[in-house]
Chains A and B, each alone.
Chain A
Amino acid sequence: MAAFEELYRQHARRLYNLAYRMLGDAADAEDLLQEMFLQAFRKLGSFKGESSLGTWLYRLGMNLCLDRVRSRAAKNGRQTDSLDADDAPVVAATPAPADLVVNRVDLERAIATLPDGCRAAFLLHDVEGFDHREVGEILGISEGTSKSQVHKARLRLRGWLRGRPALAATGTR
C-alpha cells in the first residue's frame, strides 16, 4: 500500500487537474480521480511494463474522463468529436491584427470551449508537457493525429481569444 500511496502522491494532482479541465466541475473531477486510482489498483495486474507506469495510468485516467464526458453529452443529446477527427477549423483570410494578449483566466475559459478530443490533446501537450508520442500513447492515437489535434486546438483558442469563435488563422494571401 505504501508504494501505491506514493504513486497517488506523485500523479494525483496532475490527474485531478486534467479531470477538472475536461469535466469543468471540481466535485466531478474529485470523484473521477478516486475512480481512476481504484481502477488502477484493480488493473495493476494488466500492466506489462511495455510502456511507463505513468503513461499507463494517464491512459486509464483519460479514458475515464472521455467516457464521463461522452456519457454526459449523450444524456444531454449533444454530440462529441472523435479523437481521430481531423477537421481543421475553417480558415478565413483577414488583415494582420494587433498583438494578441493572452492571460490565464481567458485562456482557461477558452480551453473549456474546445471540442473534447482536441481539448484532451491540448491539455496533455501544451498544459501538462507530454510530447506528441506520449499524447498518442495516452489517447490511443497516432503521433501525427496528436499534432493535428493540438494545432486545431490552438487555432480555435486563438479564434476565441480574438473574439471570433468561428476561427482563427489570418493569412493575407
Chain B
Amino acid sequence: MRCDEFIPLASDLVEGSLTGASRAEAEAHLSSCAGCRSLVADLSRIADVASTLERRTLPPGNWPALAARLAKEPTWSARPAMSVGPSWTWLAVAAALVAIVGSSLWLVARSFTTTAPHEAASGNGQAPDLVQSIETELALAAEHYEKAISGLEQVASAADSPLDPVVMATLRENLRVIDDAIEESRVALRNEPDSRLAQESLFEAFRRKIGLLQDTIALMNEMRKGDEAGAARIVEGLTKS
C-alpha cells in the first residue's frame, strides 16, 4: 500500500471502523511509514480534542422570549383535529420520554469521551475516582430511564390507553433483556474502566433501549386515542426531577 492509498483510510483507522484485509494492509503500511503514522496520530488528536470542546451557555432570556412567541401560536389543544398524523399530546409524551432518556445517554457518553483512557489506567490513584464518576452518571441515567419507563406504563394503564397490555408486556420483557445486557457491560466496565469494548457494549445497550422506546412512540403515533389531559399531567410529572 502506498501513502496515497492509505490516506483516504486514515480516519476509518482512527475510528476503528477499518476491518479485515484493508486494516491489515493499512497497519503494514503504518509500520514502515513515519509520515502516515504522524497523520494518524494527528487526526486522532484532533478528534479527541474536538470531543472535549466546551459549550457556550445558553442566553438566559431565550426560553422566555421563545415561550412568548409560542403563546401566540395555536395551542395543541386548540389545533383542529387531524384526520391523519399523530395526536399532539401523545407526541408531547413521546418528546419528553425521548428527551429524558437521550439526555441521560448524552451525560454518560460525555463522561467517557472527555476522560482520557490513560487516566484510568495510569495507576496514579485516579481510577477509583473515574469509576465512581462513571457509576454516578450511570445511576443518574438509570434513574431517568426508570422515570421514562414508569411514565410509559402509566400512560399504558390509563383508561382508553393507546397501548395494548400485551404490547406493554412485550415491551417490559424486551427491556428486561436489554437491562441484563446493560448490567453485564457495567460489570465489565468496573473491571476494566478504560476498555473501549465495554464502553461500546454499554452504549449499544443504551441505544437499543432508546430504540425500543422509539418503537413504542411510533406505535403511540398510530393509536391516537386516550386521556390526553391525563397524559399531559404525566408528562409534567416526568419532567419534574
Q: Establish whether residues A170 and B85, one from each chain, have CB atoms under 8 Å apart when the complex forms.
A: no
Q: Across the interface, which residues of B come within 8 angstroms of A41, CB to CB? A: 70, 73
Q: Contacts A6-B235, A45-B86; is A158 near B43 (CB within 8 Å)?
A: yes
Q: Across the interface, which residues of A come within 8 angstroms of B94, CB to CB? A: 49, 53
How far is the CB of A10 from the nearest CB of chain B, in Å?
A: 4
Selected interface stretch from B29-37, B171-179, B184-192? B29-37
- The interface centre, meaning the residue of B3, B8, B47, B95 with most chain A CB atoms within 10 A of its CB, is B95
Interface size in chain B (residues, C-beta < 8 A): 75
Q: Across the interface, which residues of B come within 8 angstroms of A38, CB to CB? A: 66, 69-70, 73
Q: Contacts A34-B69, A45-B88; is A91 near B4 (CB within 8 Å)?
A: yes
Partner of A2, one of B7, B56, B106, B232: B232
Q: Across the interface, which residues of A come within 8 angstroms of B11, CB to CB? A: 147, 150-151, 154
How far is the CB of B236 from the nearest CB of chain A, in Å?
A: 5
Does B217 reach chain A (CB closer than 8 Å)? yes
- The interface centre, meaning the residue of B35, B65, B82, B235 with most chain A CB atoms within 10 A of its CB, is B35
Q: Contacts A10-B100, A107-B53; is A3 near B2 (CB within 8 Å)?
A: no
Please, which residue of chain A has its CB at the minimum distance from the CB of B65?
A: A34
Interface size in chain A (residues, C-beta < 8 A): 68
Q: Across the interface, which residues of A come within 8 angstroms of B41, CB to CB? A: 99-100
Q: How far is the CA of A88 from the CA of B189 in the complex (A)?
A: 38
Partner of A8, one of B63, B91, B102, B106: B63
How far is the CB of B240 from the nearest CB of chain A, in Å?
A: 9
How far is the CB of A63 from the nearest CB of chain B, in Å?
A: 19
Q: Across the interface, which residues of A come within 8 angstroms of B75, CB to CB? A: 1
How far is the CB of A56 from the nearest CB of chain B, in Å?
A: 10
Does A48 reach chain B (CB closer than 8 Å)? yes
Partner of B91, one of A47, A54, A108: A47
Does B96 reach chain A (CB closer than 8 Å)? yes
How far is the CB of B39 from the nearest CB of chain A, in Å?
A: 5
Does A44 reach chain B (CB closer than 8 Å)? yes
Q: Contacts A6-B239, A94-B35; is A47 near B86 (CB within 8 Å)?
A: yes
A residues near B (Cβ < 8 Å) are 1-14, 16-17, 20, 26, 30, 33-34, 37-38, 41-42, 44-50, 52-54, 88, 91, 93-97, 99-100, 102-104, 107-108, 111, 122, 126-127, 129, 147, 150-151, 154-155, 157-158, 161-162, 169-173
